[in-house]
Amino acid sequence: KIHARSIGPYSLVTQQPLGGKAQFGGQRFGEMEVWALEAYGAAYTLQEMLTVKSDDVAGRTKVYESIVRGEDNFEAGIPESFNVLVKEMRSLGLNVELVSNKVKPGELPPAEAAE
């Protein structure tokens, strides 16, 4: 019994591929599989599996465009499942804010600037 998909439907809430052969869903990449890739040291493969191939909508588009252009690099964004988690925490009355630590070209990182 073999089931595979290249494209297919995604969940409206989490933007993750649907599960199961009947829904023409994708293969589940579970917690133990994540641990196995961590132990193997496959950081880029793990990043791709947990963002672009899962629920990073903007990243999915960027990867497709870079493949069409013949480029081999991509920048993963924030997975939609993280946004769902933040919304659920806010619905419980928790104030959740995202702080960016990106350093602009020519600037020192915050730890070095304080010294």
Question: pLDDT tens digit string along 20-69?
Answer: 666 666 677 778 888 999 999 988 888 888 888 777 778 878 888 888 99
- What is the reported pLDDT for 6? 67
Please report, for the chain, the start and end positions of each structural domain, with discontinuous segments joined by +.
43-114
- What is the reported pLDDT for 75? 76
Question: pLDDT tens digit string along 79-88?
Answer: 888 888 899 9
What sign does the CA torsion over 66, 67, 72, 78 have? positive
CA 26/CA 8 separation, integer angstroms: 8
CA-to-CA separations, 30 to 22, 24, 73, 99, in angstroms, rounded: 19, 18, 25, 28
